[in-house]
Amino acid sequence: MPRREPCSPPALPSSLAPSVDGLFWHRDLVGESGCAIFCLTNPSGQPARYLKHAPEQHVGDLIDEYVRLQWLQARIAVPGIGGFVSLPVEAWLLTDAVGGCTAYELLTTGTMSERGAVVDAMADHLRRLHAIPPSDCPFTAGAELRLALAKRRMEQGLVDQDDFDEERQGETPEALWERLVRLAPSGTDQVVAHGDYSLDNLLFPSGQPVTCIDVGRLGLADRYQDIAIAWNSLGEFGRDLQQRFVRRYGIVDIDERRLEFHLILDEFF
């Protein structure tokens, strides 16, 4: 499946137009954020900018991403911000393109040794992110908040049960909700969590630090929120790489209950 396709430029706010003049437009086919994502390439075909366009119902999500990108700039590698426009009915976020491939692309094409190096780099990057002092972070994204949002999405009929992971296919959102309530941890080990630590949200630019994108869910949360999504994403490439990831991160015995809780919780989003 192609990851992007050429497209015509959409109508842009006048303040952003000069920043994309002369670039070629491609629609991203991978992102599932509810926003339209465009890759803008230079004449040689290399990505130069990325542009997210949020319709009215996702304006708040794009504002969340913008303020978190601002906060992260001096703390960990993230794309630079090229511009932001927010209106009542839509919003636009322009960021600098980061070179290199995603973790998913590298794992798909790499040798076993190369895959191991990618997984090690992911674990090292996640440790650095989780080492940011929680007292510095103004954003909340913990289980209590996400459970409230999950329940609201279930009640509004917004949970796509056809998109559940294979092991939960055939289950209803209501049945999963009952399991979530039973599994909810009594305490949390809060860190600055990315919130969607998947393979397509990690870029490996040559000679530069691993860079994370799509940071709109970032905030204080249990570290297993990130570990669970990374674990699940790595499942396509085998349990050995999953176990290598958690060992490199620093976990000797994975907490299966916390892992299951966060994997089920993610099904609601």
Domains contained in the chain, number = 2
Tell me which of 96, 113, 130 is where a domain ends: 96
Identify the CATH number of the domain in which residue 206 sits: 3.90.1200.10
Instruction: Tell whether 108 and 92 lie within a shared domain.
Output: no
The full 3-state SS of the chain, as one line of letters, equals CCCEEECCCCCCCCCCHHHHCCCEEEEECCCCCCCEEEEEECCCCCEEEEEEEEEHHHHHHHHHHHHHHHHHCCCCCCCCEEEEEECCCEEEEEEECCCCEEHHHHHHHCCHHHHHHHHHHHHHHHHHHHCCCHHHCCCECCHHHHHHHHHHHHHCCCCCHHHCCHHHCCCCHHHHHHHHHHHCCCCCCEEEECCCCCHHHEEECCCCCCEECCCCCCEEEECHHHHHHHHHHHHHHCHHHHHHHHHHHCCCCCCHHHHHHHHHHHCCC
Q: What is the mean pLDDT of the chain?
A: 94
pLDDT in tens, 73-89: 999 999 999 999 999 99
pLDDT in tens, 19-72: 999 999 999 887 656 899 999 999 988 889 999 999 999 999 999 999 999 999
Sheet holding 101-102, edge to edge: 101-102, 202-204, 211-212
pLDDT at 116 exceeding the cut of 90: yes
Instruction: Tell whether 162 and 259 lie within a shared domain.
Output: yes
Instruction: Tell whether 57 and 151 lie within a shared domain.
Output: no
Identify the CATH number of the domain in which residue 11 sits: 3.30.200.20
pLDDT at 1 exceeding the cut of 70: no
Tell me which of 73, 96, 119 is where a domain ends: 96
Tell me which of 78, 96, 114 is where a domain ends: 96
Question: Among this protein's residues, is 196 annotated catalytic?
Answer: yes
Instruction: Tell whether 55 and 174 lie within a shared domain.
Output: no
**Percentage of the chain modeled with pLDDT above 70:** 98
* Active-site entry in 28, 196, 214, 266: 196
pTM of the model: 0.91
pLDDT at 141: 95
Instruction: Tell whether 45 and 143 lie within a shared domain.
Output: no
Instruction: Tell whether 259 and 207 lie within a shared domain.
Output: yes
Instruction: Tell whether 160 and 216 lie within a shared domain.
Output: yes
Instruction: Tell whether 84 and 122 lie within a shared domain.
Output: no
Instruction: Tell whether 70 and 145 lie within a shared domain.
Output: no
pLDDT at 32: 59
Instruction: Tell whether 37 and 84 lie within a shared domain.
Output: yes
Instruction: Tell whether 123 and 230 lie within a shared domain.
Output: yes
**Percentage of the chain modeled with pLDDT above 90:** 90
What domain range includes position 233? Answer: 101-266
